[in-house]
Chain A
Amino acid sequence: MTDRTDITPAAARRLLSHADSLSRRTHDAVRWPYIAFLLGLGSTTSFGTAAMTLTEGRAFGLVYVGTLAATFALLLFFLVTTQGRRAFAWSRRWTVYMACWSTAYAGAIAAVALAHGSVAWAGTTSGLVLLVTLVCAAVEARR
C-alpha cells in the first residue's frame, strides 16, 4: 500500500499517466472488433446499395448476392471475434448506432427500388450510409 504522504507531484503525474495509458490500452484491445464491424457494415452496405441502384440484370444479381454474402461474412467475423469478450453490452449507444444505420440503409434501398439508375440518388443515399457508419465508428473509437 502506498502511503498517501509518499505521493509527490512527480509521483501523482506518473500515476495519472499510467492510469491513462492502461485505460486506453485495455479499451483499444477489446474495442477493435466493434469498430471494425461498424466500418465494414458501412462500407459493404454503402457500396452494395450504390451498385444495386446502378446495375441491372445479371450484374444486379451478382451485386445483390455479393452484398448479402459480405454482410453475413461480416456478422460471422463479429460473432467470432467478440466471443467471450465483455466490452460489448447492448447499450443505448449501440441502439442509436444501429437505428442510424438502419434509417440510412432504408433510404439507400428505397433509392434502389424507386430511383433505379440515378447516379445522384445512388451517390446521396449510399454516401449517407457510409457517412453515418463512419461517424458511429469514430464516436465509438474516441470513447
Chain B
Amino acid sequence: MTMTEHPRHRLADPLLNPVRFSIVAALDRAEKLSFGEVRDAVEITDSALSKQVSLLEAAGFLAVGKGFVGKTPRTTLSLTRRGRAAWRGHLDALREIAGEG
C-alpha cells in the first residue's frame, strides 16, 4: 500500500511565521523593493522587519542589497531563486491543504 505524504510536510519552515510569510508575499510580484516599501506593506516596525529579514537571508530566501540614492543609504530586498522556489512550493502545499490543488 502506498502512503501519500500530507501536503503540510511540504510547507517551508521559514514561511510558517506570519511576518516572514507576508514579507515574501510582498516581494512575490514586485521583484525588488526597498526596506521601507516592505515595512509599509507588511505594517511592522523597522526592528521587527530587520530581524525577520536576517532570518530569511540566512535561510537563503532573500537577497539584501545595499546602495545609495544620492547620499541616503538604501537597503533593497529581493527573493532569491531558492526563495522563489520555496514560496511556490509553499503556496502549492497550501492549495492542496485548502482542497484547491
Contacts and interface: CB of A to CB of B under 8 A. Distances in A.
A2 interface: yes
B21 A19 contact: yes
A30 interface: yes
Given A1-B16, A2-B16, A19-B28, A87 B91 contact: no
B26 A84 contact: no
B86 interface: no
B16 to A, nearest CB: 5
Given A4-B11, A86-B76, A15 B30 contact: no
Interface stretch (A20-28, A46-54, A56-64, A114-122): A20-28
Contacts of B21: 15, 18-19
Contacts of A25: 41
Interface residues of A, number: 31
B8 A7 contact: yes
B41 A29 contact: yes
A28 B42 CA distance: 14
A16 interface: yes
A19 to B, nearest CB: 4
Interface residues of B, number: 34
A25 B33 CA distance: 13
Chain B interface main SS type: helix
B33 A86 contact: yes
A9 B41 contact: no
B29 A24 contact: yes
Contacts of B74: 84, 86
A95 interface: no
Contact of B98 (A1, A4, A13): A13
Nearest to B69: A84
Given A15-B21, A25-B41, A84-B74, A89 B32 contact: yes
Given A16-B94, A86-B37, A26 B30 contact: yes
B29 A7 contact: no
Interface of A: 1-5, 7-9, 12-13, 15-16, 18-20, 22-27, 29-31, 83-87, 89, 143
